[in-house]
Structure 1
Amino acid sequence: MRAEFASDPDTARGRLVPEEESTFRSCYQRDRDRIIHASAFRRLKHKTQVFVEHEGDYFRTRLTHSIEVAQVARTIAGALRLNGELTEAVALAHDLGHTPFGHTGEDALHKLMAPYGGFDHNAQAIKIVTTLERHYAEFDGLNLTWDTLEGIAKHNGPVTGDVPHALADYNARHDLELHTHASAEAQVAALSDDIAYNNHDLHDGLRAGLFTEEEIAELPMVGAAYAEVDRLYPDTDSYRRRHEALRRVFGVMVGDVIETSSKLLKEAEAKSPDAIRHLGRPVIRFSDPVWQDLREIRKFLFTRMYRAPSVMENREKVTKVVEDLFPLFLSQPNLLPRHWAAAIEAAEDETTLARMVSDYIAGMTDRFALQEHARIFGSDLRSFR
């Protein structure tokens, strides 16, 4: 039985373009299914987190990461008696707006877009699901419910101050109440993202040889997990030892969020999803001790993984790919795909054109961006290995 503060599909706020409801799927199930069938969701298969797409088959991609986030989110939502379908929809959509080459690509594109309003991957996700996906006869985008759109826009908290253009543009047509917190379901999706990448970045960093098991065993939370595995399975091989330890770290994070959030939800005494939105504070959180441990882990990963010499070398190379492609497409928009011709012709100024170029580059996969750069500039793909 769902809690009073859980989102209810029967009282969802509806879609921008009204549609007849399904007889066998809730509105949140339909949102989730539309996200899974979206072209942008499929492209996440060839967009990576930290490493470039071709560096190894076992490293996480944006797609596998999104699936892992959704799995964690469903578990937490179930334990807290929230709506699992809405939680899953937001979790699956949360990375749709990412550029090729992870945060490196986003940093490069944001810098290039600075004269035209900048670039933000959360706002780009909203643009994708409301405008850029064009498969349905009656509307652009996926025509998701207000509840799901709100979760995508605000899962990391209220959006105030300088609102990114893509988000502000949609919000003017369909008010997402950006000044408030999102539903508890969207907050679960956000924390599940933290849990997933904290865990799998340790795993991917070990696989890449950027640090050793002995080094991460000195980290808070991780050390205790290794000690328990060594006590229970003293003769296990290194690969199983690593997996057993990191899944325990995973379990500690999930359990902590459930325990901490259960207390916060009880204290809030919220009787509806809107009451959660207007509390003025999040209700899905880590405890302070676990949050401090995670800060230590993130500090370690920043130094040893995200700023590792081999990663930084590739960061410079893939940044150049984006820096070369953007001004070329801006000066020669005829190089964009043929079906963009009408929109290019209708562009009223350089800002409009720049945003189209940004949309095109942001939609690229790692593989396609490298291939286009090689085709146009004659670069050697092997130089990116």
Structure 2
Amino acid sequence: MLKPYACHPEKTRGRLIPENYSTFRTAFQRDRDRIIHSSAFRRLKHKTQVFVEHEGDYYRTRLTHTIEVAQVARTIANHLGLNTDLAETVALAHDLGHPPFGHTGEDALHELMAPYGGFDHNAQALRIVTKLERHYADFDGLNLTWEALEGIAKHNGPVISDRGGSHTVARREDLPYALAEVDAMWDLELASNASAEAQVAAVADDCAYNHHDLHDGLRAGLFTEDDLCELPVIGECFAAVDKLYPGLDRSRRQHEALRRVFGVMVEDVIAVAQNRLESLRPETVDDIRSMEGPIIRFSKPLYQNLKAIKRFLFTRMYRAPTVVVERKRVTTMVNGLFPFFMENPQQLPSDWQGDVGKALASGGDAEILLARVVLDYVAGMTDRFAIQEYHRLIDPDL
């Protein structure tokens, strides 16, 4: 039973290209399934989360991370009476726009694309689902519902805002070009909040990576259980496990403690959301969109504790010496591949030459449009393919 402020599939604003209704699936279920069957979704298997994909079979990739986010999103959305299919759809799509080598690759591409409109992985995800997936006879992209596109664009909050923030711009003119193009086709109401389902997907992302980065960092030997026991929330979870299971072997102790950390985050989000929903009493999904701030979020005490955990992870994991060395190596690869294809667009695969031809024939905008074609190609690479192509085309010894 969906709450009145949930997104009801029969009330969807529809698709950019009208389609017949499915006999067996709702509109949001079709969105979810199209993402799962997309090429971009499959490529997440070989894109890094923190470690480069080939460094170990047990570390998270973008695909395993995405599956974990979707599981958490379904759990929270179901408990709150929201549409689990839409929450899952946004969760499954939220990282489609990530380039090879995670945030390292994104940083490199953002700098390379600065003269050509910049790079933002959320905007690139929209470009993928509206343009770059080319499998259907009637349209480019996946022709997702308005609610799914809105969720991909705004799950981290309003995009146009004068309050600042890493995901916002003050003026519509400052939007990343990939997002501006989609918004011009179909107004995504970028100055408002997203649906509660999309907000759930964003918080589920935080829950998932806060949990699994701790697990992966332990496995990589970047820190120890004793280090984690000095941190808020985590120390209490280890203490609870030790009390219940004295002498438990190391692997099971880690798992039991970190799954409790996961539980603390999810239970906190649900409790806060229930209290806010009961207090504010929204009656429609548009009431959610027009609220002052998100309805789905961590409590203030837990948010502060998670900030301490993130600071620890930044120092001990994301900027660990071994990770920094690899960051420099893969940054060199991205910085080599992008200008190589700009100078040699004929080296792009044959099925990209149509886009190259259109870009080069566009007159004064040729360089900008070519850069965006090259970006689409490089950003779509997996870690292993980017390494392979760099070795093949530029330097076999790096």
1:13-162 map, 5 Å: 13-160=13-160, 161=170, 162=174
Q: Which SS does the other structure have where 1:361 is aligned? A: helix
Whether 1:379 aligns to 2:392 is no
Q: For residues 130 and 361 of structure 1, what CA distance do their matches in structure 2 show?
A: 18
Whether 1:253 aligns to 2:259 is no
Aligned to 1:322: 334
Q: Deviations over 1:277-320 (max 9, x none)?
A: 01131100100110011000000000000000000000000000
State TM-score, norm by structure 1.
0.98
**Amino acid corresponding to residue 372 of structure 1 in structure 2:** E
Q: Which SS does the other structure have where 1:89 is aligned? A: helix
Instruction: Indicate which of 273, 285, 303 corresponds to 2:315.
Output: 303
Instruction: Indicate which of 262, 274, 290 corresponds to 1:262.
Output: 274
Q: For residues 296 and 354 of structure 2, what CA distance do their matches in structure 1 show?
A: 45
Q: Deviations over 1:325-357 (max 9, x none)?
A: 111100110010111112111112100000000
Aligned to 2:372: 355
CA drift at 1:267? 1.7
1:207-356 map, 5 Å: 207-347=219-359, 348=362, 349-356=366-373
Q: For residues 365 and 268 of structure 1, what CA distance do their matches in structure 2 show?
A: 44
**Amino acid corresponding to residue 144 of structure 1 in structure 2:** L
Aligned to 1:204: 216
**Amino acid corresponding to residue 159 of structure 1 in structure 2:** V
Alpha carbon RMSD of aligned pairs, Å?
Answer: 0.7
- Please, which runs of 5 or more residues in structure 2 have no aligned partner? 161-169
Range with bigger deviation, 315-324 or 266-275: 266-275
**Amino acid corresponding to residue 38 of structure 1 in structure 2:** S
**Amino acid corresponding to residue 85 of structure 1 in structure 2:** D
Q: Which SS does the other structure have where 2:254 is aligned? A: helix
Q: Which runs of 4+ in 1 moved over 2 A?
A: none
Q: Deviations over 1:160-210 (max 9, x none)?
A: 132110010111011111111000000000000000000000000000000
State TM-score, norm by structure 2.
0.95
**Amino acid corresponding to residue 50 of structure 2 in structure 1:** V
Aligned to 1:176: 188
Q: For residues 306 and 202 of structure 2, what CA distance do their matches in structure 1 show?
A: 15
1:190-201 map, 5 Å: 190-201=202-213
Q: Deviations over 1:111-154 (max 9, x none)?
A: 00000010000000000000000000000000000000000000
Aligned length: 381
CA drift at 1:379? 2.3
**Amino acid corresponding to residue 112 of structure 1 in structure 2:** L
Q: For residues 6 and 240 of structure 1, what CA distance do their matches in structure 2 show?
A: 38
Aligned to 2:5: 5
Contact 1:105 1:322 in 2 (8 A): yes
Q: For residues 113 and 324 of structure 2, what CA distance do their matches in structure 1 show?
A: 22
Q: For residues 215 and 78 of structure 1, what CA distance do their matches in structure 2 show?
A: 35
Percent identical: 65
